[in-house]
Amino acid sequence: MSRDGERLIELVNELGARVSHVLTDMVPPAAQVHLLNAQRELITALMLIYENRVTTTPSGPTRRSSASGRRAPSRRRPSPHAGKIPIE
């Protein structure tokens, strides 16, 4: 992980700690647990987004049709007889 990623994690954790400290007196313990879980999920989502942006190639990620990497079946080409039909 890059230094920027580590700084982002530290920043999000610090903000979460400050907010939870302020809300400790106002929020019931059961709600605190839910908020803590939501914070973890948010941090995970942000890190996945960040890593995806950093690690993708400039031309963009490649698409695959399935997890095994098989190619999608190619489209059928039109028969040589298909086309415009002249009308007299």
**What is the 8-class DSSP label of residue 60?**
-
Could you tell me if residue 81 is inside a domain?
A: no
Q: What is the mean pLDDT of the chain?
A: 75
Domain span at 10: 3-55
45-87 per-position pLDDT tens digit: 888 888 888 887 666 555 554 555 566 666 666 666 666 777 7
Could you tell me if residue 8 is inside a domain?
A: yes
Task: Report the alpha-carbon distance of residue 61 to residue 52 in Å, rounded.
Answer: 9
Residue whose entry in the numeric block shows the structure tokens 């079946």: 73
Crossing angle of helices 29-55 and 3-23, rounded to 10°: 160
Could you tell me if residue 75 is inside a domain?
A: no
- Between 41 and 75, the more confident residue is 41
Could you tell me if residue 18 is inside a domain?
A: yes
Could you tell me if residue 25 is inside a domain?
A: yes
Residue whose entry in the numeric block shows the structure tokens 């929020």: 27
Q: Provide the domain count of the chain.
A: 1
Could you tell me if residue 64 is inside a domain?
A: no
In the predicted structure, residue 1 carries a pLDDT above the cut 70 = no
Could you tell me if residue 78 is inside a domain?
A: no
The predicted model gives 18-33 an average pLDDT of: 81
Q: What is the DSSP string of 31-47?
A: HHHHHHHHHHHHHHHHH
> Per the confidence metrics, is the pTM higher than 0.85?
no
Could you tell me if residue 66 is inside a domain?
A: no
